[in-house]
Amino acid sequence: MARTWARWLSHALLTALALAWMSPLLWVILLSLTPNEALARGDLAPRMLTTAHYQTLLAVSQAPRWFLNSLLVAGTMTAATLVLSSLAGYALARIPFRGRNGVFLFIVAGLAVPEQAIFLPLHRMFAELELHNTYTALIAPRLAGPFGVFLMTQFFRAVPREMEEAAELDHAGRVRTFLFIMLPLARPALTTLGIFTFLYAWNDFLWPMVSATDPDMYTLTVGLSSLQGNFAQSESLGFVMASAVVASSPMILVYLLFQRYIVRGMALGGVR
């Protein structure tokens, strides 16, 4: 009996906390569906909801193109990161070569470098290569991420060595062992890394804003921020909120679909 009550109580508490955490999101969605007149009156419980802000967003902006840009950039970045990090992680974890530990430490040290610190040289380099306003510029700088390499190295180190030795005795060469044994084993780590990379790429704002000056090359975050006028907060709050909902909806979807892997990934990568 006491146990049932304790469970009810903990569920009630957790539900209350979840609602508290969700309230900003629900608030944003509500505002994005509230007519401007109601917002101007300060009426935050309108009788009529509207999709006008979303229609305006589609009509006055290049939102669909920015959405596709974001999808292309995040998708490519995720795929490339998975390939590069798993290859590098496997090599660092399992292939003995001179200076391996040094290379690993050098990569891990990259985790301590703030991205703002390399903005100027990066910008200059891409300017000299005349690559700004291209997908290459939006994607390439993000591929050398140390987190993915660190995560995959740690994962491959934890795979029992006998697994690889069994494959070696089973006539599998290095490539087949990697493709058919190690990569399938790494599926949880790869899923986690994929989700984190996608979310990071989707949310990325600073570098795309610096590199993409042509509206055709904006990603969704940069594009939507460009729509905000000086009086956006007071005169078109609904529109701003609709932009926020559009920008965050893919991420909410990713969280809902993969929350199990995100939690596991936090444990795996030591992210707190």
Partner 1 sequence: MASVRLKGITHRYQRTEVLRDITLDIEDGELMVIVGPSGCGKSTLLRIIAGLERPSGGDVEIDGVRVNDVEPAQRGVAMVFQNFALYPHMTAAENMGFALRNLGTSARETDARVRETARLLQLEPLLDRLPGQMSGGQRQRVAIGRALVRNPRIFLFDEPLSSLDAQLRIEMRAEIARLHQRFGSTMVYVTHDQVEAMTLADRIAILNAGKLEQVGAPLDLYRSPRNLFVARFLGAPRMNLLEGELASASAAGAEVRVRGGPVLRVAAIADRLAANARVTLGIRPEHLRPGPSAGDLEGQVSVVERLGDRTLVHLDLDIGAEVLCEDRGESPIRVGERVHVHAPAGAFHLFDESGIALPRIVAA
Q: Which is nearer to partner 1, 1 or 169 (CB)?
A: 169
Interface with partner 1 (CB under 8 A), residue from 162, 214, 230, 234: 162
Quote the least distance from Cβ 165 to partner 1, whole Å: 5
Which tokens belong to 248? 């965050």
Q: What is the DSSP letter of 115?
A: G
Quote the least distance from Cβ 100 to partner 1, whole Å: 17
Determine if 97 is a binding residue for partner 1 (CB under 8 A): no
Gap between the Cα atoms of 106 and 266, Å rounded: 23
Which tokens belong to 153? 């190295």
Q: Judged by CB under 8 A, which stretch of 2-10, 40-48, 182-190, 239-247 contacts partner 1?
A: 182-190
Determine if 185 is a binding residue for partner 1 (CB under 8 A): yes
Angle, CA of 25, 27 and 28, to the nearest 5°: 65
Q: How far is CA 269 from CA 2, 60, 93, 101, 163, in A?
A: 38, 42, 15, 19, 23
For residue 138, give the nearest of 121, 123, 128 by alpha carbon: 123
Q: What is the DSSP letter of 267?
A: H
Q: Judged by CB under 8 A, which stretch of 5-13, 127-135, 177-185, 238-246 contacts partner 1?
A: 177-185
Determine if 57 is a binding residue for partner 1 (CB under 8 A): no
Residues 209-268 that bind partner 1 (CB under 8 A): none
Interface with partner 1 (CB under 8 A), residue from 47, 98, 171, 272: 171
Determine if 181 is a binding residue for partner 1 (CB under 8 A): yes
Length of the chain counted residue by residue: 272
Residue numbers of the site for partner 1 (CB under 8 A)?
160, 162-163, 165-172, 176, 180-181, 184-185, 187
